[in-house]
Amino acid sequence: MKIILCGACGRMGGEVTRLCEERGVEIVCGVDIDMKPVPFFLYPSFRDVTEKADVIVDFSSVWGLEERLAFAAAHALPIVLAATGYSEADEALVREYSAYIPIFKTGNLSIGVNLLQMLAKRAAAVLSEDFDVEIVERHHNQKKDAPSGTALMLAKAVEEAREGHTERVYGRHGMVGARHYGEIGIHAVRGGNVVGEHEVGFYGEDEIVTLSHSARSRRVFAVGALRAAEWIMGKAPSLYGMDDLLQDIVP
Ligand SMILES: NC(=O)c1ccc[n+]([C@@H]2O[C@H](COP(=O)([O-])OP(=O)(O)OC[C@H]3O[C@@H](n4cnc5c(N)ncnc54)[C@H](O)[C@@H]3O)[C@@H](O)[C@H]2O)c1
């Protein structure tokens, strides 16, 4: 597998680079607006890339999304979009390009988090709507977007189980009044070097159920990214996610 690594100079870029070295996967070049030393050719933009590859892995940011997708489409390359913080317009752009190339997009590449998502959906269905749902996520002090893409995935899982009788409330401040029926509270904590923690709490009158996941190292996301990259090569143009990959592992 030959990879173009976008966001090569970042924290996740470093993790993917180390994992590729361990596994003998070739990074043909990197793309990053920050030109730090890396053990392969590095370009500031896709405009300059001439190397041939099998797949693009993107751990950069939402900025430059269209250039990345246009490059992938022009070279018929599958792309793994691992960055988070997409707007509605970005999501629409991704859907548009997925008619031409296979795109793998997920807010969280860890198998454990995706299991948490499945369990949260199940718990939301089993526990009645009298159970108030609060999602808390914790990340390091350099994370740019909030709440995390994973917290949004978890909220969506609860919404799906409760058939839309929900209202997202991001943090609370001031005289907000009593909690509304159907609120999903979403809270972002930022500090230190926390890799990523997510907790979905179901608060009832007489009992509380809490589901949680803690990532102990960023390597777990690099492992997931390479797995997704291998999986998406040769797929038909479409928009894929972890559900599709997991479906192949555990039908
Ligand atoms: N999906 C997942 O499982 C998962 C896991 C971890 C991180 N992430 C996401 O991946 C992204 C990167 O995380 P990080 O911790 O490595 O961040 P980081 O800030 O350490 O690294 C980002 C890198 O991308 C570069 N970059 C930014 N915009 C660019 C652009 N337009 N073109 C080229 N390069 C650009 C930056 O210069 C930087 O080197 C974030 O969005 C983060 O939320 C996703």
Q: How far is the CA of 185 from the centre of ligand 1 (A)?
A: 26
Q: With a cut of 70, which residues of the chain have pLDDT below it?
A: 250-251
CATH number at residue 22: 3.40.50.720
Using most ligand atoms within 8 A of CB, pick from 16, 17, 60 the residue to mutate for ligand 1: 60
Q: How far is the CA of 59 from the centre of ligand 1 (A)?
A: 4
How many Å apart are CA 83 and CA 149, to the nearest integer? 9
Residues 230 and 207 reside in one and the same domain: no
Residues 26 and 55 reside in one and the same domain: yes
Residues 228 and 179 reside in one and the same domain: no
Residues 144 and 187 reside in one and the same domain: yes
Residues 25 and 66 reside in one and the same domain: yes
> Looking at residue 246, what is its pLDDT?
83
> Looking at residue 13, what is its pLDDT?
98
Percentages helix, strand, coil for the chain (3-state, rounded to 5) are 35, 25, 40
> Looking at residue 107, what is its pLDDT?
85
Residues 95 and 122 reside in one and the same domain: no
Give the burial string for 103-139 (b: 16+ CB within 10 Å, else e): bbbbbbbbbebbebbeebbebbeebeeebbbbbbbbb
Residue 188 pairs in a beta bridge with 137
Q: Enter the tokens of residue 221.
A: 């996301």
Residues 115 and 26 reside in one and the same domain: no
Look up the domain containing 39 and give its range: 2-105+218-249
> Looking at residue 251, what is its pLDDT?
62
Residue type, 126: V
Other beta carbons less than 10 A from residue 48's beta carbon:
11
Q: Which residues line ligand 1 (CB under 6 A)?
A: 6-7, 9-13, 31-34, 59-61, 63-64, 82-85, 106-109, 221
Residues 115 and 211 reside in one and the same domain: yes
Active site residue 139: yes
Please state the atom number of ligand 1 nearest to the C-alpha of residue 148: 43
How crowded is the C-beta side of 36, counted as CA atoms within 13 Å? 9
Q: Enter the tokens of residue 32.
A: 């990053």
Residues 6 and 90 reside in one and the same domain: yes
From the candidates 36, 52, 105, 139, which is the catalytic residue? Answer: 139
CATH number at residue 157: 3.30.360.10
Residues 99 and 119 reside in one and the same domain: no
Do the Cβ atoms of 107 and 80 come closer than 8 Å? no
Q: How far is the CA of 161 from the centre of ligand 1 (A)?
A: 31
Residues 95 and 142 reside in one and the same domain: no
φ, ψ at 86 (rounded to 5°): -70, 140
> Looking at residue 248, what is its pLDDT?
81
DSSP character for 76? T
DSSP string computed for 143-175: --SSS-HHHHHHHHHHHHHTTT--EEEES--SS
Do the Cβ atoms of 201 and 136 come closer than 8 Å? yes
Active site residue 144: no
Query: Into how many domains does the chain fold?
Result: 2
Q: How far is the CA of 98 from the centre of ligand 1 (A)?
A: 21
Instruction: Give the residue among 47, 48, 86 at the shortest CA–CA distance from 67.
Output: 47
Residues 185 and 226 reside in one and the same domain: no
Q: pLDDT for 108-122, tens place per residue?
A: 899 899 899 999 999
How many Å apart are CA 149 and CA 153, to the nearest integer? 6
> Looking at residue 129, what is its pLDDT?
86
How many Å apart are CA 143 and CA 195, to the nearest integer? 10
> Looking at residue 250, what is its pLDDT?
66
